[in-house]
Amino acid sequence: MAKISQKRGQCVFCGAFFTGGLSSGTREHIFSDWLADILPKTHTSHTQAITKINHQNDQAFDVISNFIPHNGDELSRKLKIVCKNCNNGWMSRLETEVRGALTDLIKVNHITLTPNIQKVLATWIAVKTAVSEYTDLSTKTISEQDKKFLKDHMVPPASWKIWIGSYEGLDWNKRFMHHGYALYTLNSDFGKICLIPNTQVTAWGIGKVFFYVFSSSNKSCIPNFDSSLLKQIWPPISESITWPPELTFSDYEAHDMAMNAGLKMTFSYIMPIEISQP
Ligand SMILES: [Zn+2]
């Protein structure tokens, strides 16, 4: 079970407290700062939408919506949740490793995504997903163990699933949509159900590339998801991917996959009882 409380002033990846010196807190960009070189900051403000849907049974549910305005472009948004050691160490190395391939994807350059490039892309978007969850603590799902695994091994845990697609619309150039679900196995957890999200699906649109990221701290929750529009990059597949792929998609498909994330996947023996999406 993921702990949903975050101690104030503590690095979310290594657990170090922000006490000054090397372990001081630093502001981590949700989208990487260098992306502004290829995706210009054109907005003076942006809005974070949070919708909470509490399913009481198959028919009845409450919907609560909230819209939070933020100054500045989406690419400027930062969260003080990472220590200097992590930010200047493994996270900085990861940014350096991903920059070339991600730039090619965003610019739709013709490249080959080798298994190693797929691994770097999957790790980078997994870290971004873990960071983005701190925009709304009530729907945070990723366990401390999974975040420590990302830091220690520089790959996502094997239970995560990550896909990539080639996007050519206008609305998803710098946007993410996160769904937090409380998914519990009916036979073993039914008596313990509470409204703590433990599973997430996050859709990311960055320039001309689209990522779909799934993780759950309920290890029996394995999604069945198949789309001709997306290619799996985690867990690793052995083949290279030619980029851009034959099939690309636009705003309708991107929005459909992002909005209906839970409906795109089926979960065995799982009862969803809360859905929320910042
Ligand atoms: Zn740290």
Alpha helices in the chain (DSSP H): 84-88, 90-106, 115-132, 144-153, 186-189, 251-259, 261-264
pLDDT at 127: 97
pLDDT at 270: 37
Query: Distance (Å, rounded) from C-alpha 140 to C-alpha 182?
Result: 11
- The verdict on whether omega for the bond into residue 244 sits within 30 degrees of 0, i.e. cis, is yes
pLDDT at 250: 95
26 φ, ψ (degrees, to nearest 5): -125, 155
Distance from residue 79's CA to the centre of ligand 1 (Å): 13
Write the secondary structure of 196-241 as one string of H (helix), E (strand) and C (coil).
CCCEEEEEEEECCEEEEEEEECCCCCCEECCCCCCEEEECCCCCCE
Distance from residue 100's CA to the centre of ligand 1 (Å): 25
What letters, b where the CB count within 10 A reaches 16 and e where it falls short, cover 73-112?
A: bbbbbbbebbbbbbbeebbeebbebbbebbbbbbebeebe
pLDDT at 185: 61
Per-run averaged pLDDT (10 residues), the chain, 278 residues: 53 85 70 84 77 58 71 78 92 96 94 96 97 88 95 95 94 87 62 69 93 87 79 91 94 88 49 40
Distance from residue 38's CA to the centre of ligand 1 (Å): 28
Distance from residue 208's CA to the centre of ligand 1 (Å): 31
Distance from residue 35's CA to the centre of ligand 1 (Å): 23
pLDDT at 197: 82
- Count how many Cα atoms sit within 13 Å of the Cα of residue 267 in the half-sphere of its side chain: 25
The answer to whether the CB of 133 falls within 8 A of the CB of 140 is yes
pLDDT at 6: 45
Distance from residue 32's CA to the centre of ligand 1 (Å): 17
Distance from residue 86's CA to the centre of ligand 1 (Å): 4
pLDDT at 220: 72
Kindly tell me the sign of the dihedral angle through the C-alpha atoms of 146, 234, 245, 260: negative
Distance from residue 134's CA to the centre of ligand 1 (Å): 15
Distance from residue 271's CA to the centre of ligand 1 (Å): 35
Distance from residue 133's CA to the centre of ligand 1 (Å): 16
Token pair for 1: 């079970």
pLDDT at 241: 94
- Count how many Cα atoms sit within 13 Å of the Cα of residue 245 in the half-sphere of its side chain: 20
107's CB contacts (< 8 A; 6+ apart) are: 38, 207, 208
Query: Distance (Å, rounded) from C-alpha 170 to C-alpha 58?
Result: 35
Distance from residue 46's CA to the centre of ligand 1 (Å): 28
Distance from residue 131's CA to the centre of ligand 1 (Å): 12
245 φ, ψ (degrees, to nearest 5): -70, 170
pLDDT at 267: 45
